[in-house]
Amino acid sequence: MTQPALEFVACADAKGGHRMAYWQWGDPASAHVVLCLHGLTRQGRDFDVLAQALLARADSALRVVCPDVVGRGHSDWLADPMGYQVPQYAADMVALIVQLHAAQPIERLDVVGTSMGGLIGMVLAGHAELPLAAPVGRLVLNDVGPTIEAEAIARIASYVGQGGRYADVQAAADAMWQLSTAFGPHTPEQWLALSAPMVVPASARSADGRTKVDDAAAVSGDSPVVLHYDPAIAVAIRAITPEIAAQAEAATWALYDGIRAPTLLTRGAESDLLSAATARQMGERGPKARLVEFAGVGHAPTFVDPRQSAVVVSFLLD
């Protein structure tokens, strides 16, 4: 299977609801689901390489599901930008899991979360009262922990929501690379493959944030493009005060300490978001995560490098 299927799930919110898109790889009849959750400004196609590596090891007997978190990719934009926070995202994932379970009962649920996606994963794995079809079996936290360095938050806040219109996909990829060199070495071909789903033809974006899917599939050549996320996701980030950050950190450590699933923590050795000290602490409490660091990488590993994806595949499937 070289391309995933694009599906949608209806989710509730304070303003009447929205659709969340998700990309499904593999066998839709499989009882084993791996849910892959992306970072703040990214989208579900970030996991294309990892999904294919998982399916190759599992001989395709697996469902790999990669949502576009609300406000990103093919998902709707929220009417209230203050809704762009982890509680809403986690609620949306519960709705998705309910839909997936209704289509084919889930017997094993694993979660892979990069950065923001890892925070969502900690809610799913650490909140015992959530109505999940199956408890999280194994959890991968990619370059994120309960303590997030203030310098990284400031760096991210400086560019989120600032993106604009680009002459073509290559120009957008070049601009994104200037903000993403910490992802580590990528070939031009790898970076372009990661970047193409990050944009949509300017003609495909409607005022309410809903993308015309047929038009969005036609990104190519020298057509003008825009970034494929709602700039308003920056509103909640810029509203974070030191007091809010401290409360969120304490709550997230409590969730982490409640995780019972075997946990893998992957970290870019040069990460400015997940400190080495926090990573060590995560190995000493809660699920006592097993730490794997990738040299020459900051925030965050992309799992495009086969050496990175192999670590995750082995943890989930061996």
5 within 8 A of 23, measured Cβ to Cβ: yes
Strand partners, 32: 108
Domain identity same for 37 and 134: yes
Domain identity same for 134 and 280: yes
CA distance 267 to 251: 22
Q: With bands split at pLDDT 50, 70 and 90, how would you rate the model's confidence at 108? A: very high
- Residue with the larger pLDDT of the pair 262 and 162: 262
CA distance 56 to 294: 23
CA distances from 177 to 104, 114, 171, 197, 210 (A): 39, 18, 10, 14, 26
CA-wise closest residue to 291 among 271, 93, 306: 271
Domain identity same for 52 and 144: yes
Question: Does 235 map to a domain?
Answer: no
Return the DSSP state at 149. -
Query: Which range marks the domain in which residue 200 is found?
Result: 162-228
Domain identity same for 112 and 206: no
Could you report the per-residue pLDDT of 50-81, keeping only the tens digit for each?
999 999 999 889 999 999 999 999 999 999 99
Domain identity same for 40 and 178: no
How many domains does the chain fold into?
A: 2
Helix (H) or strand (E) holding 81: none
Domain identity same for 246 and 110: yes
CA distance 142 to 145: 9
pTM of the model: 0.94
Domain identity same for 140 and 176: no
Burial class, 155, CB count within 10 angstroms (exposed 0-12 / middle 13-18 / buried 19+): middle
CA distance 265 to 123: 16
Residue 296: helix, strand or coil by DSSP?
coil
Question: Does 234 map to a domain?
Answer: no
Q: Which amino acid is at 104?
A: Q
CA distance 213 to 4: 14
Percent of the chain with pLDDT over 70: 94
Strand partners, 72: 229
Could you report the per-residue pLDDT of 238-274, keeping only the tens digit for each?
999 999 999 999 999 999 999 999 999 999 999 999 9
Q: Which of 172-176, 204-208, 284-288 has the lowest mean pLDDT?
A: 204-208
The pair of structure tokens assigned to 307 is: 């050496």
Q: What is the pLDDT of residue 203?
A: 78
Domain identity same for 108 and 178: no
Question: Does 46 map to a domain?
Answer: yes
Question: Does 280 map to a domain?
Answer: yes
Q: What is the pLDDT of residue 1?
A: 53
Average pLDDT of the residues in 95-113: 98
Domain identity same for 106 and 45: yes
- pLDDT higher than 70, residue 120: yes
Average pLDDT of the residues in 279-284: 98
Contacts of 255 (CB under 8 A, 6+ apart): 122, 123, 125, 126, 127, 146
User: If you search the block for the tokens 């650490």, which residue do you land on?
Assistant: 126
Domain identity same for 183 and 103: no
Domain identity same for 82 and 211: no
CA distances from 303 to 99, 184, 194, 215, 313 (A): 27, 10, 11, 28, 10
Domain identity same for 173 and 270: no
